[in-house]
Each structure stands twice: as C-alpha cells, then as structure tokens.
Structure 1
Amino acid sequence: MKRVWTGGLAVEVHLGRRQALEAALAWLLDRLVHTASGVLAGGETPLPLYRALRGVRFSTTLVLSDERWLPPGDPGTNLARVAEALGPRADRLLPFPLGLPPEEAQRRMEARVEGLLPFGFALLGVGEDGHTASLFPGHPALESPRLVEVVRDSPKPPPLRLTLTPKALSTAREVVFLALGEEKREAVGRLLLGEDLPLRRIAAPRVRLITDQEV
C-alpha cells in the first residue's frame, strides 16, 4: 500500500481490489462502533462491504448519499440494493421518501438529515466522470445551500434523483472515497492533478481516497 497527499486529500493506493476493500471495511467497522450517524454510497463498488456487515451489531443511523427517482420498492433504487446487501442490518437505513412529489420529498428528507448532523462519517463512491453521490461535474447542485437537493437532469439514468449536497456531506468528521476498477483510473488521475471534481467540494476535516489504481 502506498500513501500520497494532494491538496489536503490523503490517497491510499492498494495492490488490488481485495486489499482496498479490506482497508475500507476496517475503517467502516471502526466508525460504526463510534458514531451515531453516517452516510453510505450506493452503486456496485461498496456492496461487498455492506454484505460483510450482516453479522455486525451497531446502532448507527445510516443515510444513503443519494437516491434514484424510481417507484418505491423498485429493485433499481439504491435503497433496494444496499438493503439487500445489508440483510438484517438494513433496519438502520433511513430511506429517501420516494412516494412523495420530488420537492416535498426533498423537504422531508432535509428535515430528517438535519436532525442527524454532524455525520460521524461518509463512505462515498467515485464515478467514471468524477461524480460522487448524484453530484456531477459542473452541476448547480454543487453550489446548493440546502442539505438535500433534487437533481432533474442527471447525465446518468434515471435523470431525476435526490442527493445529499456538499453542505451536508462536509459536516462528516471523516470522508472516505472508494474508487476501484480500471474504469476509475481516469477520474483518479484527474483528481490527483487537482481538477475541480465534485469530490473536491466535500470539505470535511479528514478526507481519504482508497483506490486500487496506480496512477
């Protein structure tokens, strides 16, 4: 494992996917013991971590970083995929209220999130284009003064989403970004070069990137 620093971001480069996941899991288990609330990423990459939590006892309230606007119960939602991976520990998830109109859902979720701040931690993903949560490069949501924002024109389907904003995510005491796989190499390289990607807008006291990509 190699550590480098760039613009206040600690980067851990691991020799392979398994080693990177093991490092992320050790960090996550420690945070779940010591924190009251935290944020989990959706997507495919962190699912092995969530499956490893099935037998772990913790009382942390967990919020997803974002949600795809699909019918409640749709298997394509982040909630459905993360809950399936967590198994019985899915009872700790606080879901986005998809059964409401988008603006009402945003207000309702913002009130819920406000009561959980500051987050103890946030585990976030990294997209091929450098996005995190549903915060995409150049999107107005990056400048939102809210804690939760409606995204109506996501470049990835579905176009309608709800997302935690940089304002909400920056309250986390520690943030770990997980970027695994060859398809993330370009995004990691752009980040290390100092490009103003959405990840850079998360101004938490401690920010770390865990990756298996040597750049």
Structure 2
Amino acid sequence: MSVTTPVRLVVVHPDKEVLAQAVAARLLTRVLDVQSVRSPVHVVLTGGTVGIASLAAVAASPLVPAVDWSGVHLWWGDERFLPDDDPDRNETQARDALLDGLIAEHGLPEANVHPMPGPTSVASPEEGAAAYAALLAAAGPGEGDGSAVPAFDVLLLGMGPDGHVASLFPGHEGLAARGTTTGVHGSPKPPPERVSLTFDAIRSAREVWIVAAGAEKAEQVAAALAGKPVTEVPAGGAVGQTRTLWLLDAEAAGGPK
C-alpha cells in the first residue's frame, strides 16, 4: 500500500492586504472543490488581524453564492475565555466580518457555527475545553485522541511574533496537552485564560494553513520552517495530514520592509 507524504508549501504575497485577499480566494475555492466530492465540509477559523481580514474578504467575494453553506461547518482553533459577544472574542469578530452575513443572506445554518464556550455558559477554561471536546466528538468518528474530531478539510491558524499558534505558546504547559482541547491559564498574551485545540486535534486536519504577515514574524517563520523544536516555535508543529500551507506576506517571509 502506498503512503502519501504530506506536502508543505510556502506561498508569499507582496503585502498583508493581498495576503488576506488570496487566503479568501483560496479558502472559497477549497470549499467548492471539497463540495464537489463530499459533504459536509469542516473548516476551522482563526482570529487575528489577517485572519479576520481574510474573512471580510470572503464576505466580499463574488464566489460566496457558489458555496452551499448549508453543508459547511465552522469551528475555531482557539478562543479567549471571555463572555459571549465580547468584542475581543474571535467568534464575535468572525461574526461581524462574515458569519452573520452568511446566516442572513446565504443559508448558513446557525447550528453549523460551533463557537468555543466562555464564562457566559461555563465556569472555567477546563469546562469550556471539555464541552468543546464533546461537541467535536459528536461530529467526529470518535476513534480516540486526535481523531475524536470531524475530518477538518481546512484548519486556519495565525502565528504570533513568538511563534505561537492557536493558544499554544512557547514553553507553555499547554504544548503537551493531549486529547483534542485544553484549557489555558497564564497566557503570555492577554487575556490569560483561553480554550485551545491541542496539537493532536490540529494534526488531524487534512490541510493546515498558517497565515502570517509582518516583519515581526519573520524570525519565527524562518525558525519553524527550519525545524526548530516545537517547544520553542509551536507553529512548526502545526502540520496537516495531506498538506501544510505557509501563507505569508513578503515581510513575514523575510523580504523588504
């Protein structure tokens, strides 16, 4: 039996604005391609400046009506442990940029949007992580750690200047978490409490896309691509089953500032 070797591609765009537009076009095309062979489609969203700009670019694309949004499920890689509707939640920003419009105008069922719970509904990040793990398991094959999740077709991640992805930070105990989700305390980036997918869950995705822009990211991008330890550069541990895409602007790739 042949074994498929996962592919890693690095794609560089001239600036962060073009990067966001390119991510949006690539995401819509990927969803349409998957829908031509299977349904439902499972996509994991990310926050951050470029992540949310990419969602806004999706909203403005003429390809939006071509997608059967009733067959798309949307998840998150991490979330700040903040009350529902807090403007700093990834969910709130994603709804403003894209999701509310898809629900109102393009047939995305509210039930297909799967936010991570916060203090509005649970008492701690650990309870939030457990609740999200149960939700993932209900939609997945339930085969154990890392596979008790849906078959994510695309898992989007931003990367911080310190090399973190989701809420998995360098040197933090969350890097070693097993299962599919983890509660995070003492995050070096505010707020200190969060809920995150684990590497087990991230690595179960068919495709992982890491989106990074800005000169402040260049050193860690280079370190991750060079294979530095995940404990130092967590982004290097975010790999997909079939493909890992590094989608960068020129500055994050180490080009002219």
Report the equivalent of 2:132.
109
Report the equivalent of 2:247.
210
Is the contact made by 1:25 and 1:49 (CA closer than 8 Å) also made in structure 2? yes
Change beyond 3 A, Cα 1:19–1:51: closer
| Mapping of residues 30-179 of structure 1, within 5 Å | 30-33=29-32, 34=34, 36-54=41-59, 56=64, 57=67, 58=69, 59-86=71-98, 87-89=100-102, 91=110, 92-98=112-118, 99-102=121-124, 103-114=126-137, 115-116=139-140, 117-179=150-212
Is the contact made by 2:16 and 2:50 (CA closer than 8 Å) also made in structure 1? no
Is the contact made by 2:85 and 2:92 (CA closer than 8 Å) also made in structure 1? yes
Could you report, residue by residue, the CA deviation over 1:113-171 in whole angstroms, capped at 9, with x for unpaired residues?
12241211111101000001101112222221120100011001110000011111111
Q: Displacement, 1:8?
A: 6.1
Instruction: Confirm whether residue 23 of structure 1 aligns to residue 22 of structure 2.
Output: yes
Letter of the aligned partner of 2:131 in structure 1? R
Q: 1 or 2, which has the higher strand percentage? A: 1
Report the equivalent of 1:3.
none
Structure with higher Rg: it is: 2
RMSD in angstroms over aligned alpha carbons? 2.0
State which drifts further: 148-157 or 39-48: 39-48
TM-score between the two structures when normalised by the length of structure 1: 0.88
Letter of the aligned partner of 2:88 in structure 1? G
Letter of the aligned partner of 1:60 in structure 2? V
Is the contact made by 1:53 and 1:89 (CA closer than 8 Å) also made in structure 2? no
| Distance in 1 of aligned mates of 2:57 and 2:21 | 10
User: Size of the alignment, in residue pairs?
Assistant: 209
Report the equivalent of 1:199.
235
Structure 2, unmatched stretches of 5+, are 1-5, 35-39, 104-109, 141-149
Change beyond 3 A, Cα 1:170–1:44: same
| Distance in 2 of aligned mates of 1:120 and 1:11 | 19
| Distance in 2 of aligned mates of 1:70 and 1:125 | 19
How many percent of aligned residue pairs carry the same amino acid? 34
Is the contact made by 2:168 and 2:234 (CA closer than 8 Å) also made in structure 1? yes
TM-score between the two structures when normalised by the length of structure 2: 0.75
Q: What secondary structure sits across from 2:44 in the alignment?
A: strand
